Amino acid sequence: MAAPAARVLEHELLVYRRVWRGSVFSSFLSPVLFLAAMGLGLGSLVDANAAGGGGASGSAAALTGFSYLAFLAPGLLASNAMQTAAGESTFPVMAGIVWVKSFHGMIATPIRPADVVVGKLAYVALRLLLVSAAFFVVTVLFGAVTGPTAVLAVPAALLTGLAFAAPIAAFSATQKDANGFNALFRFGVIPLFLFSGTFFPVAQLPALLQPLAYVTPLWHGVDLCRSLALGTAEPAMTLVHLAYLGTMTAVGVAAALVTFRRRLVR
């Protein structure tokens, strides 16, 4: 990373050192609670049902033979990356531009708007790595992990997060106030969290809605993480996921370079 962007990253980490406590619940405890309640609690019902009358409900086939806990854990890993990314690329970006104006302070020095974008996203990447690794360790402790290659789900979650962080940061830099963020979470993040395969296979959705779920970015992230974690990844589909998420990241970065510049340099 170029030196000026590294300085922006340094700033973000310095602020994070002050405020990290506040983020522990949303980005770590919350997915762990979901894993415990859904994976262990609800999972015991699902698994019993699958073992007993599986033929009737079809859920054993849908979960492709894994425990519900093992199925759920990588889904939560991916969704949590999305949520962390969305959190870090909305309000903090608004703070940098409008509330605290720290980005304005930066660009009064040799730092350029492009460095702000790169440094900020580098920071989000570090945060994603941190929360994904921490959550992965928890899933191991829960016994939800099937083999050593499951650790590949962590970089997959990182990519999933970045695929959201970059375009959302670009969007945030166009906003006058935080009102747009409420819509983003209400109509974007939360529906994706619920219906993109985190909690149940998309195949369980009404046939009409399935194609919709398959084009959502979170489904690609969830399926990538899950197939890597369960060792069921197929090369072709994995490439599709990587290409989809990689493209979203690249387009998002390109857009953020434009919107940050427009907003900061006027």
Partner 1 sequence: MAASPSGSLIHARALTKRFGGFTAVDAIDFDVAPGESFGFLGPNGAGKTSTMRMIACVSPVSAGTLRVLGMDPLADGPRIRARIGVVPQQDTLDMELTVRENLAIYGRYFDLPRPVIRQRVDELLDFVQLAERSGDRVEPLSGGMKRRLTIARSLVNEPDLLLLDEPTTGLDPQARHLLWDRLYRLKQRGVTLVLTTHYMDEAEQLCDRLVVMDKAQIVAEGSPRQLVERYSTREVLEMRFPVGVQETLDGQLDGLGDRVERLPDRVLVYTADGEAAGAEAYARGLRPEMTLVRRSSLEDVFLRLTGRSLVE
Tell me which residues touch partner 1 (CB under 8 A). 3-4, 7, 10-11, 14-15, 18-19, 100-102, 104-112, 264-266
**Least distance to partner 1, CB of residue 168, Å:** 22
Tell me whether residue 105 or residue 143 sits nearer to partner 1 (CB atom): 105
H or E segment to which residue 197 belongs = none
**Could you please report the per-residue DSSP string of 73-120?**
HHHHHHHHHHHHHHHHHSHHHHIIIIIS-HHHHHHTTT--HHHHHHHH
Tell me whether residue 4 or residue 167 sits nearer to partner 1 (CB atom): 4
**Least distance to partner 1, CB of residue 106, Å:** 6
**Least distance to partner 1, CB of residue 11, Å:** 5
Tell me whether residue 176 or residue 266 sits nearer to partner 1 (CB atom): 266
Tell me whether residue 151 or residue 178 sits nearer to partner 1 (CB atom): 178
**Least distance to partner 1, CB of residue 66, Å:** 43
CB crowding 175-208: b at 16 or more within 10 Å, else e:
beeeeebeebbeebbeebbebbbbbbbbeebeee
d(CA 228, CA 17): 32
